[in-house]
């Protein structure tokens, strides 16, 4: 029974001590501890929020970057295709022009050759005529020493010429 | 682990010294006074017993710390050292009367210091109002010093480092504070009011826990059975009662005194029950803490006493092993009882402060 009987002295000291401890802790210790814990919690939750937002932003940027890259690639492909086409066309045109030029040149050359050939032929004919005349002169001088003979020969030539 | 071994060596050592004393005084019966030993350890004392030993001259030496004795008599306080009561058989003069210390209680006597008993053995001498710094009170001061040191140094570090993650001692303290705040206060007390009760609940938790821990340290600065003392638990229960009822909401009082929604005749039964319930809740808190801590002390002391009852050294390993298990259990019980006391207090506060009807 002695164990179950409260002792007024101990009750008094416990009350006093407990109330003083409560007051001291509430006044001097707990405010700064609780404030620090609250600040830390809030900071952590803000930081998490920030991190989440940053991650979303990064994702957004990533998408944007991919889109830009895709666009750039498409444009490059288009430019390349166009360039290739242009190159082919230029080559073709150049080839065609060259062919035309060559053909024209060849025609001109051929014409020149033909003309020169004709000229050469004329000159040759002239030269042959001249030579023929000179030869004929000499032959005639030789042959026309005798009158009769002369006549005959002339007639022969004349006949021949008429036949020509 | 080394620490526990030291604890047990000291424990066994101190008991063996006492058993010599006991057996030599009770040699006629040849028995070992277990109840006396247990009661001596779980009740309060006016001096702080450290060690007994026999010196080389064969004399018994009682190494104790004398504590101040404060008595209230004839309208004023009287201060003594407890040495004056323990080490002399002479009664001490207290104004016109004399006072003796008998079984840790002060009684007024004649000048010759005799204690009168009636036929049933009850002491008939008047007792004196005793406000001494007993062993329990000294132990309580020690616990308060520890708690203040813990919290004030932590508070200073929080003020200095604030945001940084807790290091060293704060890393131990902080989870407990957060636990009390989140899982005891905020979980049980609705809304904004929870934070208002956090200092009270933290104080209750640490006051009980640290005192429980000091109580299970078996040698000098510990060993007092403060949190297993009914005066201590009763005081805390009264504090809990005040915390529950002083901040009670209107609906709580309405619920208690009018029992709304109940048929009128039943109210005559229910309202007294509710009023009794107001008192039984803290009463249960008081008994629970007292019984748990005292029972733990009694079990450990009894297990150790088996060695001296059987007067055999061979039983010692079993005794020590069992009391080791009990010690580990007591470490759990120490924190568990602090948790249960503060949790139930928070629960009752939550019930009394909530605005909603139950």
For chain B, counts of helices (H) and of strands (E): 11, 8
Whether the per-residue pLDDT at B186 is higher than 50: the answer is yes
Partner residues linked to B71 by β-bridges: B78, B130
Q: Are residues B50 and B77 in the same domain?
A: no
Q: Are residues B229 and B296 in the same domain?
A: yes
Higher pLDDT, B269 or B60: B269
Q: Are residues B107 and B252 in the same domain?
A: no
For the record, the structure tokens of A116 come out as 């020169």
Whether the per-residue pLDDT at B30 is higher than 80: the answer is no
Q: Do A10 and B199 touch (CB under 8 A)?
A: no
Sort out which chain B residues have CB atoms less than 8 A from A39's CB and list them.
Answer: 162-163
Q: Do A25 and B203 touch (CB under 8 A)?
A: yes
Q: What is the rounded average pLDDT of the residues A49-78?
A: 96
Q: Are residues B60 and B174 in the same domain?
A: no
pLDDT, position B80 = 84
pLDDT, position A164 = 59
Sort out which chain B residues have CB atoms less than 8 A from A43's CB and list them.
Answer: 163
What is d(CA B235, CA A6) in angstroms, rounded to the nearest whole number? 9
Q: Do B198 and A34 touch (CB under 8 A)?
A: yes
pLDDT, position A163 = 63
Q: What is the rounded average pLDDT of the residues B246-262?
A: 86
- Of B284, B213, B136, the closest CA to residue A11 belongs to B136
Alpha carbon distances (Å) from B125 to B101, B114, B115? 12, 9, 7
Q: Are residues B107 and B251 in the same domain?
A: no
Partner residues linked to B49 by β-bridges: B64
- Of B228, B183, B220, B226, the closest CA to residue B201 belongs to B183
Cα nearest neighbour of A12 on chain B: B131
Instruction: Say yes or no: B301 contacts chain A, CB-CB below 8 A.
Output: no
Choose the weakest-confidence range: A35-44, A94-103, B40-49.
B40-49
Q: Are residues B228 and B314 in the same domain?
A: yes
Signed CA dihedral, B159, B160, B161, B163: sign only: positive
Whether the per-residue pLDDT at B204 is higher than 70: the answer is yes
Alpha carbon distances (Å) from A53 to A25, A39, A56? 40, 21, 5
What is d(CA B19, CA B54) in angstroms, rounded to the nearest whole number? 13
Q: Which of B121, B203, B241, B288 to mutate to test the interface with A (most CBs of A within 10 A)?
A: B203
Query: For chain B, what is the mean pLDDT?
Result: 83
- B176/chain A closest Cα distance in angstroms: 12
Q: Are residues B145 and B109 in the same domain?
A: no
Size of interface A-B (CB pairs under 8 A): 115
Sort out which chain A residues have CB atoms less than 8 A from B72's CB and list them.
Answer: none
Sheet with B68-73, strands from edge to edge, namely B76-81, B68-73, B129-130
In-domain check, residue B39: no
pLDDT, position B327 = 92
Contacts with B236 (C-beta within 8 Å, 6 or more apart), sequence order: A14, A18, B204, B207, B208, B285, B286, B289, B341
In-domain check, residue B21: yes
For the record, the structure tokens of A101 come out as 């030029």
What is d(CA B111, CA B93) in angstroms, rounded to the nearest whole number? 8
Q: Are residues B120 and B23 in the same domain?
A: no
In-domain check, residue B123: yes
Cα nearest neighbour of A42 on chain B: B163
Q: Do B43 and A3 touch (CB under 8 A)?
A: yes
Is A20:B248 a contact under the CB 8 Å cutoff? no
Q: Which of A10, A35, A37 comes nearest B136 by C-beta?
A: A10
Domain that holds residue B110: 68-132
Sort out which chain A residues have CB atoms less than 8 A from B229's CB and list them.
Answer: 7, 10
Sort out which chain A residues have CB atoms less than 8 A from B104's CB and list them.
Answer: none
Q: Are residues B185 and B256 in the same domain?
A: yes
- B2/chain A closest Cα distance in angstroms: 33
Q: Which of these three, B76, B107, B132, is where a domain ends?
A: B132
Alpha carbon distances (Å) from B81 to B48, B68, B73, B78? 12, 5, 16, 10
Residue B168, φ and ψ in degrees, nearest 5: 55, -125
- B221/chain A closest Cα distance in angstroms: 18
pLDDT, position B5 = 53
For the record, the structure tokens of B140 come out as 């309580």
For the record, the structure tokens of A163 come out as 């036949």
In-domain check, residue B14: yes
Locate all alpha helices (DSSP H) within B186-226, ordered by sequence.
187-188, 193-216
Contacts with B54 (C-beta within 8 Å, 6 or more apart), sequence order: B20, B60, B61
Q: Which of A6-15, B52-61, B72-81, B260-269 tops mean pLDDT?
A: A6-15
- Chain B, window 143-202: residues with a beta carbon less than 8 angstroms from a chain A beta carbon: 144, 147-148, 151-152, 154-156, 158-159, 162-163, 174, 177-178, 181, 195, 198-200, 202
Q: Which of A11, A37, A40 comes nearest B235 by C-beta?
A: A11
Q: Are residues B148 and B15 in the same domain?
A: no
Helix (H) or strand (E) holding A164: none
Whether the per-residue pLDDT at B31 is higher than 80: the answer is no
Name the residue with tokens 């002169």. Answer: A137
Is B104:B47 a contact under the CB 8 Å cutoff? no
Q: Which of A3, A14, A30 to mutate to test the interface with B (most CBs of B within 10 A)?
A: A14
Number of domains in chain B: 3
Q: Are residues B194 and B336 in the same domain?
A: yes
Is B188:B343 a contact under the CB 8 Å cutoff? yes
Q: What is the ipTM of this complex?
A: 0.84
pLDDT, position B63 = 82
Higher pLDDT, B286 or B35: B286
Band of residue B356 on the pLDDT scale cut at 50, 70, 90: low
Q: Which residues of A touch B (CB under 8 A)?
A: 2-15, 17-18, 20-22, 24-26, 28-37, 39-40, 43
What is d(CA A76, CA B332) in angstroms, rounded to the nearest whole number? 74
Whether the per-residue pLDDT at B12 is higher than 80: the answer is no
For B106, the 3-state DSSP assignment is: strand
In-domain check, residue B37: no
pLDDT, position A143 = 67
For A89-123, the pLDDT digits (tens) are: 999 999 999 999 999 999 999 999 999 999 999 99
- Of B66, B212, B229, the closest CA to residue A9 belongs to B229
For B207, the 3-state DSSP assignment is: helix
Q: What is the rounded average pLDDT of the residues A74-84?
A: 96
Q: Are residues B189 and B228 in the same domain?
A: yes
């Amino acid at each position: 029974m002695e164990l179950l009987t409260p002792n007024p002295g101990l009750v008094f000291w416990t009350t006093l001590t407990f109330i003083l401890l409560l007051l001291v802790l509430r006044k001097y210790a707990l405010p700064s501890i609780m404030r620090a814990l609250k600040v830390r919690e809030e900071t952590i939750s803000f930081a998490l929020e920030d991190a989440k937002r940053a991650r979303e932003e990064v994702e957004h940027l990533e998408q944007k970057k991919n889109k830009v890259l895709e666009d750039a690639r498409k444009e490059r492909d288009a430019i390349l295709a166009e360039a290739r086409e242009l190159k082919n066309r230029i080559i073709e045109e150049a080839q065609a022009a060259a062919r035309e030029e060559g053909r024209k040149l060849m025609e001109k050359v051929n014409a020149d050759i033909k003309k020169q050939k004709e000229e050469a032929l004329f000159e040759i004919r002239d030269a042959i005529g001249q030579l023929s005349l000179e030869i004929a002169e000499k032959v005639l001088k030789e042959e026309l020493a005798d009158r009769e003979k002369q006549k005959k020969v002339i007639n022969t030539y004349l006949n021949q010429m008429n036949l020509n | 682990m080394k620490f526990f071994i030291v604890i047990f060596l000291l424990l066994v050592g101190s008991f063996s010294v006492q058993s010599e004393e006991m057996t030599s005084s009770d040699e006629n019966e040849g028995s070992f006074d277990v109840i006396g030993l247990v009661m001596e350890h779980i009740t309060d004392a006016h001096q702080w017993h450290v060690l007994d030993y026999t010196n080389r001259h064969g004399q018994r030496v009682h190494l104790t710390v004398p504590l101040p004795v404060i008595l209230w008599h004839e309208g004023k306080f009287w201060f003594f050292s407890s040495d004056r009561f323990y080490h002399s058989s002479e009664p001490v003069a207290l104004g016109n009367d004399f006072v003796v210390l008998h079984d840790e209680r002060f009684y007024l006597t004649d000048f010759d210091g005799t204690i009168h008993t009636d036929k049933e053995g009850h002491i008939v001498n008047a007792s004196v109002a005793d406000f001494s710094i007993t062993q329990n009170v000294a132990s309580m001061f020690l616990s308060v010093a520890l708690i203040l040191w813990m919290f004030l140094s932590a508070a200073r570090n929080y003020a200095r480092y604030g945001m940084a993650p807790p290091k060293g001692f704060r890393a131990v303290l902080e989870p407990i504070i957060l636990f009390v705040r989140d899982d005891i206060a905020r979980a049980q007390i609705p809304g904004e009011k929870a934070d208002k009760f956090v200092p009270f609940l933290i104080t209750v938790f640490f006051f009980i826990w640290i005192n429980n821990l000091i109580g299970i340290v078996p040698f000098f600065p510990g060993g007092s059975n403060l949190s297993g003392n009914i005066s201590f638990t009763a005081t805390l229960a009264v504090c809990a009662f005040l915390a529950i009822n002083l901040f009670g909401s209107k609906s709580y009082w309405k619920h208690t005194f009018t029992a709304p929604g109940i048929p009128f005749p039943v109210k005559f039964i229910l309202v007294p029950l509710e009023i009794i319930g107001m008192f039984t809740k803290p009463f249960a808190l008081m008994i629970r803490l007292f019984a748990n801590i005292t029972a733990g002390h009694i079990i450990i002391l009894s297990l150790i006493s088996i060695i001296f009852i059987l007067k055999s050294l061979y039983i010692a390993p079993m005794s020590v092993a069992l009391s080791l298990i009990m010690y580990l259990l007591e470490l759990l019980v120490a924190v568990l009882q602090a948790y249960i006391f503060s949790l139930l207090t928070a629960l009752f506060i939550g019930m009394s402060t909530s605005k909603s009807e139950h």
